[in-house]
């Protein structure tokens, strides 16, 4: 079907060209009743050739004319002919002056260098007139896409419309984003540590509270976040001229003194239970279940020394059935004293009924005897046991343990 339409267009163009040529001839050279036999013959030949092309079903695009028609089409045909952009050397037509009458206007002739087309409708006298082509402009045909029938047009909300206010807001948003990016690249804010709250009236001796160092604790809350520890996370259980003892109720992960790190928690290890600060030596002792970390300041840096609980020392309690069971670390508090000894403080309601060093029983509690409150262990050859009213010393002399007792100072 497209082939027939294309060749029909070609045929119409040829007819128009032939009509223009015949009308452009001068009246003086051609009479009204004369005919041009050669043009008629050529016209018939062209028509026969077109018919033969249609019958032979040649493919479109074999000629230059058909290629151009297939590519661009005929464009918009108006009563003024084809519209095309005027060239630079074309002189625009001169407009008729008001004092000139239509009879004085020059009639179109083939020699005036203009081009003409036949009007699509005849005039009142039934004749077709030539219309001059003032300028040529080609306007290709364009097809606008049709919206799908099963969808409805979406109106743009007012909030999405472009306005000068949005341009101003855009700059504000950009500045806000830049500020966010800058804040992300900044280092995280430092934690504001809180000093240890020294309780008034607890201090004893000649030292004043302002002579104590600034001790700070960092712990983990329930969400595993680092937070400064307050008095709700620890308490001071001992304060004297020689030492200050703290007991932790939260997970302590870092200890600082005067802004310097003294100790920090290693992943996979236990958390400290107590801390002792030796005021005389300026040393910290971080106490765990099975070890003590002694921290000392040397050349402006805090150094650590790990001291493990004595393995040769074993403590037992007696059950109601008369059996001796070994005491575990959760039955007592264990820490290093200022004198270098290990102190064991037993939990309330618990009794220590037997002490053994290197598989040798060095002391055994008598039936209904006094209850041991605490014990200091200086080594395999010397230890002290503290009761309510007296203190017992056990010393190894020449391979044999000797026991001495003396009353406590009132």
- The pLDDT-based confidence of 349 (bands split at 50, 70, 90) is confident
Please tell me whether residues 230 and 329 are part of one structural domain: no
pLDDT tens per residue, range 27-43: 444 444 444 555 555 55
Q: What is the C-alpha to C-alpha distance for residues 28 and 14, in angstroms, rounded to an integer?
A: 26
42 — phi, psi (to 5°)?
-65, -35
Return the pLDDT at 15. 78
Return the pLDDT at 210. 45
Lowest mean pLDDT among 170-184, 224-238, 248-262: 170-184
Mapping DSSP to helix (H, G, I), strand (E, B) and coil, where does residue 5 land?
helix
Name residues whose C-beta falls within 8 Å of residue 355's C-beta, 6 or more positions apart in sequence. 313, 314, 315, 316, 361, 362, 363, 364, 375, 383, 385, 394
CB 344 within 8 A of CB 292: no
In a domain, 350, yes or no: yes
CB 307 within 8 A of CB 284: no
Q: What are the start-end ranges of the E strands in 9-134?
A: 116-118, 130-132
Return the pLDDT at 240. 86
- The pLDDT-based confidence of 114 (bands split at 50, 70, 90) is low
CB 85 within 8 A of CB 75: no
In a domain, 188, yes or no: no
Return the pLDDT at 254. 96
> Looking at residue 189, what DSSP letter applies?
P
Please tell me whether residues 124 and 226 are part of one structural domain: no
- The yes-or-no verdict on residue 399 having pLDDT over 50 is yes
Return the pLDDT at 70. 47
In a domain, 234, yes or no: yes
Please tell me whether residues 252 and 332 are part of one structural domain: no
- The pLDDT-based confidence of 409 (bands split at 50, 70, 90) is confident
- The yes-or-no verdict on residue 268 having pLDDT over 70 is yes
- The yes-or-no verdict on residue 277 having pLDDT over 70 is yes
pLDDT tens per residue, range 77-107: 444 444 444 444 444 445 444 444 444 444 4
Please tell me whether residues 19 and 110 are part of one structural domain: yes
Q: Which of 8, 4, 28, 27 is nearest to 16 (CA)?
A: 8
In a domain, 177, yes or no: no
Whole-number percent of the chain with pLDDT over 90: 31
**β pairing state of 301-308 and 291-298:** antiparallel
Please tell me whether residues 351 and 391 are part of one structural domain: yes
In a domain, 53, yes or no: yes
Please tell me whether residues 269 and 368 are part of one structural domain: no
Q: What is the C-alpha to C-alpha distance for residues 205 and 20, in angstroms, rounded to an integer?
A: 130
Please tell me whether residues 15 and 127 are part of one structural domain: yes
Please tell me whether residues 242 and 301 are part of one structural domain: yes
Q: How many domains does the chain have?
A: 3
Domain stop point among 256, 289, 307:
307
In a domain, 184, yes or no: no
Q: Which of 377, 295, 374, 371 is nearest to 333 (CA)?
A: 374
In a domain, 222, yes or no: yes
Please tell me whether residues 289 and 374 are part of one structural domain: no
Q: What is the C-alpha to C-alpha distance for residues 104 and 247, in angstroms, rounded to an integer?
A: 123
Return the pLDDT at 18. 67
Burial (Cβ within 10 Å: 0-12, 13-18, ≥19) of residue 387: middle
In a domain, 203, yes or no: no
Domain stop point among 307, 340, 369:
307
Mean pLDDT of the chain: 71
What average pLDDT does this structure show over 359-366? 94
Please tell me whether residues 299 and 335 are part of one structural domain: no
Give me the domain span that covers residue 282. 209-307
Return the pLDDT at 262. 96
Return the pLDDT at 313. 94
CB 267 within 8 A of CB 237: no
Please tell me whether residues 380 and 362 are part of one structural domain: yes
Domain stop point among 68, 97, 132:
132
CB 214 within 8 A of CB 193: no
Q: Which of 48-57, 140-149, 192-201, 237-246 has the highest mean pLDDT?
A: 237-246
Q: Which of 73-77, 157-161, 227-231 has the highest mean pLDDT?
A: 227-231
Please tell me whether residues 378 and 396 are part of one structural domain: yes
Which residue in the block uniquely carries the two structure tokens 């200050």? 244
- The pLDDT-based confidence of 118 (bands split at 50, 70, 90) is low
Q: Which of 53-67, 69-83, 167-181, 271-285 has the highest mean pLDDT?
A: 271-285
- The yes-or-no verdict on residue 293 having pLDDT over 80 is yes
């Amino acid at each position: 079907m497209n082939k027939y339409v294309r060749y029909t267009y070609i045929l119409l163009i040829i007819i128009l060209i032939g009509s223009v040529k015949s009308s452009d001839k001068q009246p003086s050279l051609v009479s009204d009743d004369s005919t041009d036999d050669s043009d008629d013959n050529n016209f018939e030949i062209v028509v026969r050739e077109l018919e033969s092309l249609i019958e032979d079903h040649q493919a479109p695009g074999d000629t230059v004319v058909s290629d151009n028609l297939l590519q661009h089409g005929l464009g918009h045909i108006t009563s003024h002919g084809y519209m095309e952009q005027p060239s630079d050397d074309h002189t625009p037509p001169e407009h008729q002056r008001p004092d000139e009458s239509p009879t004085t206007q020059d009639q179109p002739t083939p020699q005036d260098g203009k081009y003409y087309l036949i009007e699509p409708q005849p005039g009142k006298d039934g004749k077709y007139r030539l219309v001059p082509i003032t300028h040529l402009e080609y306007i290709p045909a364009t097809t606008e896409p049709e919206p799908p029938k099963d969808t409805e047009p979406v109106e743009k909300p007012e909030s999405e419309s472009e306005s000068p206010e949005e341009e101003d807001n855009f700059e504000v948003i950009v500045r806000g984003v830049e500020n966010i990016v800058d804040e992300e690249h900044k280092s995280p804010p430092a934690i504001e540590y809180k000093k240890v709250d020294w309780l008034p009236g607890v201090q004893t001796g000649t030292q004043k509270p302002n002579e104590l160092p600034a001790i700070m604790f960092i712990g983990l809350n329930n969400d595993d976040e680092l937070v400064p520890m307050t008095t709700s996370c620890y308490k001071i259980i001992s304060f004297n001229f020689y030492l200050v003892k703290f007991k932790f109720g939260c997970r302590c992960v870092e200890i600082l003194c005067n802004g310097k790190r003294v100790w920090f928690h290693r992943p996979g290890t236990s958390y400290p239970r107590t801390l002792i600060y030796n005021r005389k030596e300026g040393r910290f002792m971080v106490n765990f279940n099975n070890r003590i970390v002694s921290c000392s300041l040397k050349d402006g840096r805090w150094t650590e020394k790990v001291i493990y609980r004595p393995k040769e020392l074993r403590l037992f309690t007696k059950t109601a059935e008369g059996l001796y069971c070994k005491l575990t670390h959760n039955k007592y508090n264990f820490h290093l004293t200022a004198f270098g000894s290990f102190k064991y403080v037993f939990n309330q309601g618990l009794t220590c009924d037997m002490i053994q060093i290197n598989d040798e029983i060095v002391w055994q509690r008598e039936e209904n005897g006094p209850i041991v409150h605490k014990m200091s262990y200086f080594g395999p050859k010397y230890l002290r046991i503290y009761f309510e009213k007296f203190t017992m010393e056990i010393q190894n002399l020449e391979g044999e343990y000797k026991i001495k007792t003396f009353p406590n100072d009132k």
